[in-house]
Amino acid sequence: MIQGKLGTLVGRSSGYIESLPAPVRRRVAGLKGIQQEHSKLEAEFQEEVLELEKKYFAKYTPLYQKRSSIVNGAAEPTDEEVEAGKQDDEDEENEDADKEEAEEDEKKETSTEPMNGIPEFWLSAMKNLGTLAELITDKDEPALRLITDIRMEYLDRPGFRLIFEFPENDFFTNKTITKTYFYQEESGYGGDFIYDHAEGDTIDWKAGKDLTVRIESKKQRNKSKIL
Amino acid sequence: MIQGKLGTLVGRSSGYIESLPAPVRRRVAGLKGIQQEHSKLEAEFQEEVLELEKKYFAKYTPLYQKRSSIVNGAAEPTDEEVEAGKQDDEDEENEDADKEEAEEDEKKETSTEPMNGIPEFWLSAMKNLGTLAELITDKDEPALRLITDIRMEYLDRPGFRLIFEFPENDFFTNKTITKTYFYQEESGYGGDFIYDHAEGDTIDWKAGKDLTVRIESKKQRNKSKIL
């Protein structure tokens, strides 16, 4: 938790070090040499953390697959999963309110058509994440509400890829749209991975459906220029 | 790098979920149950990261001990350590400037008394760390420049202890002053350790030397009140 912070205390220079007598400056240079050994160990540590992240990612994956099946209506959750989820809610909510809700449900059910899976799950999820919500405009929503899955995968080099999965739709022909985040091969001071750049797929918009094009009805200020 | 973020997307509620028909709400409850399994795995992941931190802390410790010996004049760095440290500098600096410096050193050496270790190493380090520098007042410096070592140790429960080591001094009788940071036994959403509270040692100030007491020369506004 703290050793990274202690590490950053060493190795900074202002005019102070230069003003010291030579034997002291030699010791400071020696500490910098020792700090290099420390940095090598920190880079090894970050490599091991990444391996651990990958190990756990493999453990999370079946849960993500279950989620995807439920969201898209390919499977229903088990009673155990539902009970565990309800107990989670009851920690926060009032039980009486739950009962009233249940009665209300019965009324709703008779008046509502059957729904497959959880409609608009990913759009709702994204709109619940503050920083992401700010980026979503009304114009984006018709496409984003179609998302059937968002997945991540690690690259062979430092970095990861986000995969957005879509069904057949009116906007573009892509079945998936991915964005890949590349990190530098050399780790930084303290062993951290350093972000390099990201690359996104080209979206194959259907004719007239490009949501990134702003259609403006411009008034001609000076018609004579056209003529 | 990213799975923690994906995890936080699930489990938030506004009025939206309550407005859904019962079969959909059952699926959402099921996802919350699945999310609980995810959270358990995340807590295991954080435990494993902590074990990894402890493993590397053991690897860093000999380097910290070497640093302490050099800082306090108990040992000199090896030529290899000095060379490695100088090469580090040369990546940033101009070689000619280095030569000039070396010539200047010789002059300095004849006019300077020998110095033990690296004087004021820890005060300099702390003043190079922005957030810490802001907390250090002129009044603190005479005590802080005496620090011979700053160490960290893990607790048997979640948390760590900072140990500040002092020589015999005019201000207090403590040989070490420690501050211990306690984290909660139960990990939070996403498996993170949650800070609970910190406890600091009592400082045994010598008579009249308490640096935390502000001595003000108050004017008596109404002398009659004393009589």
Rounded Cα–Cα distance for residues B117 and B69 (Å): 8
DSSP state of B160: E
Look at residue B98 and tell me whether its pLDDT is greater than 70.
Answer: no
Contact A31, A6 (CB under 8 A): no
How does residue B226 score in pLDDT terms, banded at 50, 70 and 90? very low
Rounded Cα–Cα distance for residues B1 and A156 (Å): 14
CB contact under 8 A, B27 and A83: no
Residue found by looking up tokens 């090896």 in the block: B78
ipTM for the predicted complex: 0.79
Lowest average pLDDT, out of A182-196, B38-52, B173-187, B197-211, goes to A182-196
pLDDT of B115 reads 82
pLDDT of A28 reads 95
The 3 state secondary structure assigned to chain A is CCHHHHHHCCCCCCCCHHHCCHHHHHHHHHHHHHHHHHHHHHHHHHHHHHHHHHHHHHHHHHHHHHHHHHHCCCCCCCHHHHHHHHHHHHCCCCHHHHHHHHHHHHHHHHHCCCCCCCCCHHHHHHHCCHHHHCCCCCCCHHHHCCCCEEEEEECCCCEEEEEEECCCCCCECCCEEEEEEEECCCCCHHHCCCEEEEEECCCCECCCCCCCCCCCCCCCCCHHHCC
Spans of chain A below 70 pLDDT: 1-14, 91-113, 215-227
pLDDT of B183 reads 95
In this structure, the number of other CB atoms found within 10 A of the CB of residue A199 comes to: 11
Buried residues in A73-103 as b, exposed as e (16+ CB within 10 A): beeebeeebbebbbebeeeeeeeeeeeeeee
Window A:181-220, CB contacts with B under 8 Å: 193
pLDDT of B38 reads 95
Q: Which residues of B touch A83 (CB under 8 A)?
A: 33
CB contact under 8 A, B128 and A22: no
Contact B165, B147 (CB under 8 A): yes
Q: Which long-range contacts (CB under 8 A, 24 or more apart) does B180-185 make?
A: B180/B155, B182/B155, B182/B157, B182/B158, B183/B157, B183/B158, B183/B159, B184/B158, B185/B157, B185/B158
CA A96 to chain centre: 37
* Residue A153 main-chain phi, psi, to 5 deg: -140, 150
CB contact under 8 A, B3 and A162: no
Tokens of B62: 């000999």
Contact A134, A123 (CB under 8 A): no
| Residue A125 near chain B (CB below 8 Å) | yes
Rounded Cα–Cα distance for residues A121 and A69 (Å): 12
pLDDT of A219 reads 59
Tokens of A3: 């050793």
Distance of residue A136 Cα from the nearest chain B Cα, in angstroms: 15
Distance of residue A13 Cα from the nearest chain B Cα, in angstroms: 8
pLDDT of B126 reads 95
pLDDT of B217 reads 63
pLDDT of B172 reads 97
pLDDT of A132 reads 92
How does residue B220 score in pLDDT terms, banded at 50, 70 and 90? low
How does residue B199 score in pLDDT terms, banded at 50, 70 and 90? very high
CA B225 to chain centre: 49
Indicate the Cα dihedral angle A3, A6, A10, A16, nearest 10°.
Answer: 180
Rounded Cα–Cα distance for residues B29 and A85 (Å): 5
What are the tens digits of pLDDT across the range A29-70? 999 999 999 999 999 999 999 999 999 999 999 999 999 999
Note the residue count of chain A: 227
What are the tens digits of pLDDT across the range B40-70? 999 999 999 999 999 999 999 999 999 999 9
Q: Which residues of A touch B50 (CB under 8 A)?
A: 1
The 3 state secondary structure assigned to B63-83 is HHHHHHHHHCCCCCCCHHHHH
Q: Average the pLDDT over B14-36 and give the result.
A: 88
The one-letter amino acid code at B222 reads N
Contact B128, A12 (CB under 8 A): yes
